[in-house]
Structure 1
Amino acid sequence: MALVTGATSGIGAATAELLAERGAHVLVAGRDAARGEAVVARVRDRGGKADFLSAELADAESARRLAHRATELGGGRVDILVNNAGIFPFGPTAEASPADVDAVYDLNVKAPFHLVARLAPAMAERGSGAIVNVSTMVAEYGVAGMALYGSSKAALNLLTKAWAAEFGPHGVRVNAVEPGPTRTGGTAAMGENLDALAAQAPAGRPAEAREIAEAIAYLVGDTASFVQGAIVPVDGGRTAV
């Protein structure tokens, strides 16, 4: 059983569909029921298994409820967790309200923390499991206007390493991917700015959501059995230059 948060669109939806193609029963978690059911329908139309779970992930209790419901649907287990849900407001630091700061850290940092706290111990008890956190390339370097978003994902990177140290000895692999500019519904509003940001990397173009999903699928798969605590850039080479 694979639980993917923020799976109703973009990278999350692409990941859910790809994992289902490769044989996983996928739980599509997100806020928008209509979009979530559309993802489930696409999976089922292709012969895969999927169910939608409504989840706001705005507080600890929401994360705990999701973990409980996912475990129930999984017959008592969740084998794969992809922490993809997140928000990415950009803007000057001085213009970020206390509510903005709380919202970003609640979803980008606290939700993954509470989900891992609920699901990883059972994985460790069984001796197997895989967790992938979806970070960002701007967790690696400073960008004006991205202090709030970048810092939340930098925290997630450290959590990835700490969880690898904590749960890795018990058979649970924890890794992260750092996407670069990616064409999704959420980034459509960036317009030409997305292309300009992508042009700074060797690849010279934005990624498609499926390209990020391929990296996530690799990390949760058996062929990545010796990969633990890795922060994998999937950014067209931007952080390499």
Structure 2
Amino acid sequence: MASLELTGRVALVTGATSGIGAATAALLAQRGARVVVTGRDSARGESVVAAIRARGGRADFVAADLREAHAVRQLARQALDLGGGRVDILVNNAGIYPFAFTEKASETEVDDVYALNMEAPFHLVAELAPGMAERGGGAIVNVSTIAAACEVAGLALYGSSKAAVELMTKAWAAEYGPRGVRVNAVWPGAVRTEGTAGMGEFLDVLAAQAPVGRPGPEEIAEAIAYLASDAASFVQGVLLPVDGGRTAVC
């Protein structure tokens, strides 16, 4: 039976200083991967790395603002250096998700959302997927949202940026899959993290619309770790809902 273990692999997790990203980095390290943690907040990043190391895992932190293309490509190079010339797992988790009605979104906000949510994953895949293909294997997991599929007023900007990521997920599966690189995405539902704290009661309203009826915590990381492992060797180009059943009723 294929294993969930990731011993000997190098993983890069973006947006890993808190929330889903931090939980994913910790779980990948627990399963044996050497993890490159990245985000903008150095203090939080070093805290995530320290916690992983305290549990016997291997991790390094690289500070990066992924709204700039040159910073994205520099991150890819740094991750390769830390990984001894390889990155086997890429988790595109970094994102911003403003809750704002369309007419109130500023030009800067629109640019930032698309730069971080859509363009950063594109550049990272362009930098790292060819190396995975040359080695004959690798896994890319993109973090999307149910807002890309379910109509939610106030989330047009965020949802559309992630809808693009979902199309890229399928296109990358077709592009790199024949060369051994698996590309999939997860669809988190309402998740209570530091980043969603500002949503207040709206988060609970979203969660209540799902059959499970509550926000999700660590389950998202478990799904990502599964898709990154050999246990998912026959899973390619999938958008996996981990949303408490929300997409079943949207």
- With the shorter chain as reference, the TM-score category is over 0.9
Segments of structure 2 that go 5 or more residues without pairing to the other structure are 1-9
Match of 2:190 among 181, 193, 203: 181
Are 1:17 and 2:31 counterparts? no
Match of 1:229 among 214, 237, 241: 237
1:1-241 equivalences under 5 Å are 1-208=10-217, 210-241=218-249
Once the two structures are superposed, what CA deviation does each residue of 1:114-136 show, in whole Å capped at 9, x if it has no partner?
Answer: 00000000100110000000000
Aligned residue type for 2:243: D
Aligned partners of 1:59, 1:166: CA distance in 2, in Å? 25
Distance apart, 1:194 and its partner CA: 1.1
Aligned partners of 1:145, 1:127: CA distance in 2, in Å? 42
Deviating more after overlay: 147-156 vs 192-201: 192-201
Aligned partners of 1:96, 1:195: CA distance in 2, in Å? 24
TM-score, structure 2 as length reference: 0.95
Aligned partners of 1:212, 1:75: CA distance in 2, in Å? 28
Aligned partners of 1:95, 1:211: CA distance in 2, in Å? 33
Aligned partners of 2:196, 2:106: CA distance in 1, in Å? 22
Aligned partners of 2:94, 2:104: CA distance in 1, in Å? 24
Segments of structure 1 that go 5 or more residues without pairing to the other structure are none
Distance apart, 1:146 and its partner CA: 0.4
Deviating more after overlay: 79-88 vs 89-98: 89-98
TM-score, structure 1 as length reference: 0.99
Aligned partners of 1:132, 1:180: CA distance in 2, in Å? 16
Secondary structure of the residue aligned to 2:210 is: coil
Secondary structure of the residue aligned to 1:183 is: coil
Aligned partners of 2:143, 2:102: CA distance in 1, in Å? 23
Aligned partners of 2:195, 2:84: CA distance in 1, in Å? 33
Aligned residue type for 2:49: V
Aligned partners of 1:61, 1:142: CA distance in 2, in Å? 34
CA RMSD of aligned residues (A): 0.6
Distance apart, 1:191 and its partner CA: 1.9
Aligned partners of 1:194, 1:98: CA distance in 2, in Å? 25
Distance apart, 1:236 and its partner CA: 0.4
Aligned residue type for 1:240: A
Secondary structure of the residue aligned to 1:124 is: helix
Secondary structure of the residue aligned to 2:12 is: strand
Aligned partners of 1:199, 1:143: CA distance in 2, in Å? 14
Aligned partners of 1:124, 1:142: CA distance in 2, in Å? 36
Q: Residue in 1 aligned with 2:6?
A: none
Distance apart, 1:37 and its partner CA: 0.4
Aligned residue type for 1:205: R
Distance apart, 1:90 and its partner CA: 1.1
Distance apart, 1:190 and its partner CA: 1.7
Q: Residue in 1 aligned with 2:7?
A: none
* Ranges of 4+ aligned residues in structure 1 off by more than 2 Å: none
Deviating more after overlay: 161-170 vs 183-192: 183-192
Secondary structure of the residue aligned to 2:90 is: strand
Aligned partners of 1:132, 1:141: CA distance in 2, in Å? 21
The number of aligned residues is 240
Distance apart, 1:232 and its partner CA: 0.4
